[in-house]
Amino acid sequence: MKHQELILASASPRRIDLLKQIGVDPAQIIPADIDESELKNEAPRDLALRLAREKARAIAINNNGKFIIAADTVVAVGRRILPKAENETQARKCLKLLSGRRHHVYGGICIITDEGKEITRLCDTIVKFKRLSTNEINSYIESQEWEGKAGGYAIQGQAAAYISFIQGSYSNIVGLSLYDTMQMLRGNDFFTK
């Protein structure tokens, strides 16, 4: 099955690998340089969708006539949005908050078609961590897998041993729901015979 050229508006190696897993090899990878700060009183699900939309639009400005896909992942406990852990202190706080609790991983996806049509979708995956011991948290911090990860963990690594329950898309937790992405691409004539 052939497909048209696609620009991925992300520098995430996980999203590149996920797209390749479903046979979509981006022709270009152009990270969108946008302000990812949350707005006052913005719900986590709204933040994920807005950032995906803004990333896609930022790249679409200079790339008319091409398919563009952008995504954003937001990890939240209730309405509390967890950061992309940039240091050990942030990662440790995230893990302590997630310990023994369920949380949501919201994945916003935005596709702008070659004709300029904009399609968005929100994926919501519920994840439950086991109660983490101090030793488990310390061990995970030492792994450094948390660096730059929303919520301070990467499910495709050692953190998988701490997760007792998932409801929804596994690939959404990694960075992009493959089911939803494929449905959006197929429904908008990305694939040709």
CA 50 vs CA 53, 158, 180: distances in Å: 5, 30, 17
Q: In the structure encoding, which two tokens stand for residue 63, read together?
A: 């790339």
Q: What is the DSSP string of 134-187?
A: HHHHHHHHHHTTTTT-BTT--TTTGGGGGEEEEES-HHHHHT--HHHHHHHHHT
The answer to whether 104 and 91 have CB atoms below 8 angstroms apart is no
What is the C-alpha radius of gyration for the chain, rounded to an integer number of angstroms? 17
Tell me whether residue 163 is exposed, middle or buried, using C-beta atoms within 10 angstroms of its C-beta: 0 to 12, 13 to 18, 19 or more.
Answer: middle
- Check if the beta carbon of residue 69 is closer than 8 Å to that of residue 7: yes
Tell which phi-psi region holds residue 123, choosing left (phi > 0), alpha (psi between -120 and 50) or beta. beta
Q: What angle do CA 10, 91, 177 make, to 5 degrees?
A: 35
DSSP bridge partners of 26: none
Just list the catalytic residues.
72
